[in-house]
Amino acid sequence: MTDTTVDVSRSGSTAILRIHGEITGGSEPALMEAYGTAGDARSIVLDFGALDYMNSGGIGLLVTLLVRAQRAGQRLLAVGLTEHYRQILALTRLDEAIAIHDDESSALAAAAV
Amino acid sequence: MTTPAPHDPHEPHPAASPRNEDSWARPVHRLTTTATGAGQDTVTGRRVSGPVQGFGQMWQKTFTVRLPGDDHPAEAVVATWKALFPTYWPKGSTFYSPLSGITPGEVALLEVAPVPGSPVKMSTGVLVIYADRESFTFMTPEGHALSAWITFSAYRDQDETVVQVQALERTSDPFIELTYVFGANRANDRFWEQTLANLARSMGVADPVVTSVKICVDRRRQWRYVRNLRHSAAVNMAVGTVTAPVRWVRRRRVTD
């Protein structure tokens, strides 16, 4: 069983999805349900600060989430990434589509522009 | 299922190494390969190109085959698959393994038929971006027909081992997208169906049944990536084939 929990909060027109545990292909229900809760947010911030583990299935899931967000006209941003996960987003060139920020306040500021 | 304590967004994020850090390749800007034997290396110097950078519609394709019984633990199947990967490919296509095999960061070269039965081969490759005991994932380079991640895995389901290929892919450019509309998409499916059937037969399944699930994740085409055409191995192959007689005549004139 995949150990993924996602807390959703809101800051103005930005939804923040705090991911706990792991992201694998099996995390789809938890992540997509959280995304659905974000509703009409203009931007989605993914907070990876409590991420323990991500495999290649999880990266595929992020792409699926990215496509859904782009279709809805939403921007996707990421915070809380360790150096290792920053490297993975660079390796997979996902960092060209998901804006990476050092902390939540800078992500929220960028999302508000 | 455990529920970890909520993360304080103002606290620094944990710096501990994740448990699968060594399973990932290091970021590479330009690819190099240790694979040998291919007629042409069209990969060295190229960058990787995933579904985000592709042109065509995005597809998620999942192919599975089941190995009944307890004789094939998932990890053993993946280990065998890595070791003998080229042998399961359908005839007409060749996979040139890198020196250290399917390990993170290695680049393999491929020669594939653009259409089944074609005597002309298209040269390209893949980067191994992830490999652990239960799965491994390839990412395609610029010039490959697809901008894709393809994950190969196995897992236990009751008294069977399920062996799976899952691709998340877009065609790389408009030329390939056109061929996909007119049959190459189905030919690509058959490639993985035959691969899984070959693998299952090698593990004692006499009459393997491969199931496939295809989902169009994104129907839009990404026109901002139309210039991927300039890297296209298929276009280069087509131009090379068409202009071969002209180059032959020119060489004759020079030698005469």
In a domain? residue A75: yes
| DSSP code of residue A98 | S
Mean pLDDT, residues B183-206: 95
In a domain? residue B95: yes
The domain in which residue A52 lies consists of 4-108
Binary contact (A18, B53; C-beta < 8 A): no
User: Is B137 within 8 Å of chain A by CB?
Assistant: yes
In a domain? residue B235: no
Whether the predicted pLDDT of A13 surpasses 50: yes
pLDDT digit string, tens, across residues A40-99: 899 999 999 999 999 888 999 999 999 999 999 999 999 999 999 999 999 999 999 999
3-state secondary structure chain B: CCCCCCCCCCCCCCCCCCCCHHHECCCCCCCCCCCCCCCCCCCCCCCECCHHHCCCCEEEEEEEEEEECCCCCHHHHHHHHHHCHHHHCCCCCEEECCCCCCCCCCEEEEEECCCCCCCCCEEEEEEEEEECCCEEEEECECCCCEEEEEEEEEEEECCEEEEEEEEEEEECCHHHHHHHHHHHHHHHHHHHHHHHHHHHHHCCCCCCCEEEEEEEEECCCCHHHHHHHHHCHHHHHHHHHHCHHHHHHHHHHHHC
In a domain? residue A68: yes
Mean pLDDT, residues B168-192: 93
Confidence of residue B114 (pLDDT cuts 50, 70, 90): low
The pLDDT value recorded for residue A1 is 56
CA distance A87 to chain B (A): 6
Confidence of residue B232 (pLDDT cuts 50, 70, 90): confident
User: Is B23 within 8 Å of chain A by CB?
Assistant: yes
Q: How many domains does chain A have?
A: 1
Which residues does B21 contact at the CB level (< 8 Å), separation at least 6?
A84
In a domain? residue B34: yes
The pLDDT value recorded for residue B5 is 41
Q: How many domains does chain B have?
A: 1
Whether the predicted pLDDT of A6 surpasses 90: yes
In a domain? residue B249: no
CA B249 to centroid of chain Cα atoms: 38
In a domain? residue A51: yes
**Test the A interface: residue of B130, B146, B216, B228 with most A CBs within 10 Å:** B130
Q: What pTM did the predictor assign?
A: 0.85
Mean pLDDT, residues B193-201: 98
CA distance A15 to chain B (A): 14
Write out chain B residues lying below 8 Å of A83, CB-based: 15
The pLDDT value recorded for residue B1 is 37
Confidence of residue B233 (pLDDT cuts 50, 70, 90): confident
ipTM of the complex, rounded to two decimals: 0.84
In a domain? residue A113: no
What CATH code is carried by the domain that includes residue A62? 3.30.750.24
Closest-CA residue of A relative to B139 is: A92
Mean pLDDT, residues B199-210: 97
What CATH code is carried by the domain that includes residue B35? 3.30.530.20
In a domain? residue B243: no
pLDDT digit string, tens, across residues B35-47: 888 877 889 999 9
User: Is B215 within 8 Å of chain A by CB?
Assistant: no
Residues B154, B156, B158: CA angle, nearest 5 degrees: 155
The domain in which residue B122 lies consists of 21-223
In a domain? residue B255: no
The pLDDT value recorded for residue B235 is 74
User: Is B207 within 8 Å of chain A by CB?
Assistant: no
The pLDDT value recorded for residue B18 is 60
CA atoms B195, B42, A96, B104: torsion sign? positive
CA atoms B77, B79, B83, B86: torsion sign? positive
Q: Which of residues 161-200 of B touch A (CB under 8 A)?
A: 166, 168
In a domain? residue B140: yes
CA distance A70 to chain B (A): 10
Binary contact (B149, A92; C-beta < 8 A): yes
Confidence of residue B73 (pLDDT cuts 50, 70, 90): very high
In a domain? residue B30: yes
The answer to whether the CB of B16 falls within 8 A of the CB of A52 is: no
The pLDDT value recorded for residue B3 is 37
User: Is B226 within 8 Å of chain A by CB?
Assistant: no
Confidence of residue B72 (pLDDT cuts 50, 70, 90): very high
CA distance A25 to chain B (A): 11
